[in-house]
Amino acid sequence: MYQSFLSWRFLTARRINWVGIIGVFVGVTALILILSIMSGFLDQQRRMVRGTLSHIVIEPSPLPHIDGEPLPKSAKPLLSAVLEDERVEAACAQLSWFALLIQGGRGSAYSASRLSDTTSAKLVGVQVVGVDISDEFRTTELRAALELPPEGMSFGHVPVDDPDNPFAAPPGEDSGGPWAWCIVGQQLAIVHGLHRGSEINLGTMVPDPMTGEVRQSNRKYLVAGTFRTGENESDLGRIYVDRAELHDFLATGRDYSQVLVKLHDYEADGEVIAKELSSTLAAKRLLRSADMNEVKTWEQYRRNILGAIENEKVLMAIMLSLVLVVAGFSVFAILTMMVAEKRRDIGILSALGGTRSGTLWIFLLIGFWDALLGATAGAVAGVLGATYIDPIERAISEFFGVQIFDRNVYLFDHIPAVVDPVSVAAIVLGAFICTLLFAAIPAWRASRLNPLEALRYE
Amino acid sequence: MSDSQILVAKDIRKSFQIGDREVGVLHGAHLSLNRGERLCMMGASGAGKSTFLHILGLLERPTEGEVLIDGQDGWSLGNTQRASLRNRTLGFVFQFYHLLPELNALENVVLPARIAASHGDSPLTLQEATARAKQSLEKFGLENRMDHRPSQLSGGEQQRVAIARALLLDPPVLIADEPTGNLDTATGGRVLELLLKEQEERGLSMILVTHDPRIAEACDRVMAMQDGQIQSDTGVEIPH
Ligand SMILES: Nc1ncnc2c1ncn2[C@@H]1O[C@H](COP(=O)(O)OP(=O)(O)OP(=O)(O)O)[C@@H](O)[C@H]1O
Ligand SMILES: [Mg+2]
């Protein structure tokens, strides 16, 4: 076809066409890179939002069952009922309460003075979570959180002597009293200068379920080590202790506040299972009612923040698509110029028997080549760039001697990037559509030109 | 219209709209061209010769009148068919050569065959067309110029390339609008000689616009155009 032959010649003869190709290239590369990194960030964020949760959260109402019978005070019946379902892989009970970190104890004078300084108006509230450690390990990611964090993240890490048994007194440690051991978030340990064997004093207030009277109590714990989940809120404000120990300390009500459930295949039918659990457990009088939202998937549990993340992604994609519009516009500008320049040639083609649609195709095809070359190179560069963003960033940072991506700020050990083939395909397709639409305008004008205007006078 | 006439134009009128003024250029021009005939058209500048040629060549639509090419009314056809007819039956040689600057000499000559292929009725494959194009370029003394761009060729060379292009598909009618008008006398003479020789050998019909009476002498018939009409269309009598 003379159209494709000529469009290629017109394309390669004029160096200005590089501008169009590079425009598409830069647009596609940038879009893929940025979306991949954004996806990576959002994925990380999602994972962190899930954080210390498992797949399903069961939070029984404090009220009795709707027929009036109080819910059991022990987690045992609920746990065994949940485990009866064969789609459930593991479950654990947690007792969770809030406490004030009143003062650092032995070996933490620095934080002791800080915490007792009333003028700073700083109260350190922490979440104390009582867990059954082996159930917990089977259900959540806590076991992994005790390991040495990845390079760059390990500052402040205090290894637990026996990670499989973190609440046991380390051999040879003098506890200095009958106190229990706990594990604290790594950030918390950094802020308060905690290390292995540090004493912490937790103060709390517990309302009496009968009288409503608030009782104050406090208890000392010893730091066995740190955990790091990557979720800032937990790492900065959470302390794990043994559940029976915490129940003893609080000395009130139920010995659990929620049950976390891990499924064999959450992605497949997590929501359905949550619904079914809700009705079977309510029927067994382990929940107040089947429709009180006492059973939630972790995504329902954290819906607000997850919705925001999804929104962010869509918004980002829409705004970034403007890059493609800019690329398309550069193609439009160049083609408009070329059409003006090629009036005479359009006339010649007409004299040789070319048609209007032939002319249209020549210029549309120039747009097509721009899109093909630019988008292909852009897709390759974008995918490669996103895949190797981490070493690339390190190399650039090293070269310029400036830290571009501070891994500590994000609590990431590497720049997260997720290359989604569907997004890449969509971006390439978008580049084609955009470029061709923009090329179509000058191409249409070229086909409407009166060829003789150009031929008659020189 | 008899079978011997390859091209007939009847009562061609053409006026241009300039602002809100109608300017008549052609006022009922007639023409008939016999097969194998060499027809010369002369006339003062601005008489409307080029306009007439463009209408005959199906490049510009007349305000009135019809153009029959081999019995087919060219202006009643659809755009695409008319383009195809132009491609297969008409060869153009312009005063300013009109080669595509991005293509080399050989590619310029082959272009009509590519366009014919896009109409789906090419008489030649690309290889055949290329071979034929090489042949004529060699014959025209351009064997060392085939891969030169138009900008690297002299005017005379460019016009020879343009002639080779016009002849590629062996169209029955050649339309030449002052083909030597932009060349010096000696070069123009050689180019014209070549054009006339090819026309003779191939038995093509030709309409040639010129201001040069000596060229007119070499024609079978001379027409004079004046005020948008054909004033004399008789024998070989040359108006001086
Ligand atoms: N598109 C147009 N719009 C307005 N006027 C036009 C147009 N094309 C041609 N004309 C006018 O028509 C007249 C005939 O022009 P044409 O080019 O046919 O003359 P010509 O005989 O070929 O002259 P020359 O010998 O100088 O080439 C001129 O007066 C010209 O100004
Ligand atoms: Mg003229």
pLDDT single digits (tens) A402-457 = 777 776 666 566 788 888 899 899 999 999 999 999 999 999 999 998 877 767 65
Chain B positions touching A448 (Cβ under 8 A) are: none
What is the number of CB-based contacts under 8 A between chain A and chain B?
Answer: 74
Pick the ligand that lies closest to the CA of residue B45: 1
Cα–Cα nearest to A277, from A445, A411, A84, A104: A84
| C-alpha to C-alpha distance for A10 and A20, rounded to whole angstroms | 13
pLDDT of residue A167: 87
pLDDT single digits (tens) B176-222 = 999 888 888 888 889 999 999 999 999 999 999 988 888 888 888 88
| C-alpha to C-alpha distance for B217 and A343, rounded to whole angstroms | 36
pLDDT band at B234 (very low <50, low <70, confident <90, very high): low
pLDDT of residue A108: 47
The pLDDT of residue B163 is above 50: yes
For residue A401, count other CB atoms closer than 10 A to its CB.
Answer: 6
| C-alpha to C-alpha distance for A328 and A25, rounded to whole angstroms | 11
Cα–Cα nearest to A432, from A18, A4, A28, A15: A28
| C-alpha to C-alpha distance for B132 and B164, rounded to whole angstroms | 9
The pLDDT of residue B236 is above 50: no
- Structure tokens belonging to residue A318: 């829409």
Nearest CA to ligand 1 atom 31: B46
> Do A458 and B96 lie within an 8 Å CB cutoff?
yes
| C-alpha to C-alpha distance for A76 and A55, rounded to whole angstroms | 19
Interface test with A, best of B17, B114, B159 (most A CBs within 10 A): B114
| C-alpha to C-alpha distance for A437 and A451, rounded to whole angstroms | 24
Chain B positions touching A357 (Cβ under 8 A) are: 80
| C-alpha to C-alpha distance for A393 and A42, rounded to whole angstroms | 19
Q: Which residues does A86 contact at the CB level (< 8 Å), separation at least 6?
A: none
* DSSP assignments along A141-190, one per residue: SHHHHTSPPPTTS-TT----SSTTSTTSPPTT---SSSPEEEEEEHHHHH
The residue written with tokens 């720049």 in the block is A415
Nearest CA to ligand 1 atom 22: B50
> Do B100 and A458 lie within an 8 Å CB cutoff?
no
pLDDT of residue B238: 42
| C-alpha to C-alpha distance for A136 and A91, rounded to whole angstroms | 8
pLDDT of residue B237: 44
Q: Is the separation of the CB atoms in B40 and B211 below 8 Å?
A: no
The residue written with tokens 């004093």 in the block is A201
Closest atom of ligand 1 relative to the B178 alpha carbon: 27
- Quote the DSSP letter at residue A200: E
Q: Which residues does B204 contact at the CB level (< 8 Å), separation at least 6?
A: B36, B91, B171, B172, B173, B174, B198
Q: Is the separation of the CB atoms in B73 and B67 below 8 Å?
A: yes
The residue written with tokens 């609590």 in the block is A411
Q: Which residue from B80, B94, B102 is facing A10, i.e. has the nearest CB?
A: B102
| C-alpha to C-alpha distance for A76 and A256, rounded to whole angstroms | 10
pTM of the model as a whole:
0.75
Residues with CB under 5 A from ligand 2 (ion): B 50
> Do A1 and B87 lie within an 8 Å CB cutoff?
no
> Do A1 and B86 lie within an 8 Å CB cutoff?
no
Q: Is the separation of the CB atoms in B177 and A455 below 8 Å?
A: no
Ligand 1 surroundings by CB, under 6 angstroms: A 456; B 16, 18, 23, 25, 43, 45-51
> Do A351 and B92 lie within an 8 Å CB cutoff?
yes
* DSSP assignments along B164-204, one per residue: HHHHTT--SEEEEESTTTTS-HHHHHHHHHHHHHHHHHHT-
Closest atom of ligand 1 relative to the B225 alpha carbon: 21
User: Please, what are the domains in chain B?
Assistant: 5-234 (3.40.50.300)
Phi/psi at A63 (5° precision): -80, 160
Ligand 1 test: best mutation among A449, A456, A457, A458, most atoms within 8 Å of CB?
A456
Looking at this protein, which amino acid is placed at residue B61? R
Nearest CA to ligand 1 atom 24: B45
Q: Which residues does B99 contact at the CB level (< 8 Å), separation at least 6?
A: A348, B105, B108, B150, B158, B161, B162, B165
How far does the centroid of ligand 1 lie from the alpha carbon of residue B216, in Å? Answer: 21
Q: What is the ipTM of this complex?
A: 0.91
Q: What percent of chain B has pLDDT over 90?
A: 46
Q: Which residues does A145 contact at the CB level (< 8 Å), separation at least 6?
A: A227, A228, A229
Pick the ligand that lies closest to the CA of residue B225: 1
For residue A221, count other CB atoms closer than 10 A to its CB.
Answer: 25
For residue A62, count other CB atoms closer than 10 A to its CB.
Answer: 12
pLDDT of residue A17: 86
> Do A358 and B59 lie within an 8 Å CB cutoff?
no
Chain A residues with at least one Cβ partner in B under 8 Å: 1-3, 5-6, 9-10, 13, 344-345, 347-358, 451-452, 455-456, 458
How far does the centroid of ligand 2 lie from the alpha carbon of residue B210, in Å? Answer: 9
Q: What percent of chain B has pLDDT over 70?
A: 95
- Residues of chain A predicted below pLDDT 70: 103-123, 173-177, 209, 407-413, 454, 456-458
- Structure tokens belonging to residue B116: 């014919």
| C-alpha to C-alpha distance for A186 and B109, rounded to whole angstroms | 79
> Do A6 and B102 lie within an 8 Å CB cutoff?
yes
pLDDT single digits (tens) A136-168 = 999 988 888 888 887 777 888 888 888 888 888
Tell me the mean pLDDT in the region B16-40.
88
The pLDDT of residue B239 is above 70: no
Distance from CA of A432 to the nearest CA of B (A): 25
pLDDT of residue A434: 93
Pick the ligand that lies closest to the CA of residue B210: 1
Chain A positions touching B118 (Cβ under 8 A) are: 1-3, 354, 358
| C-alpha to C-alpha distance for A370 and A374, rounded to whole angstroms | 6
> Do A350 and B83 lie within an 8 Å CB cutoff?
yes
Chain B positions touching A353 (Cβ under 8 A) are: 83-84, 86-88, 112, 115-116, 119
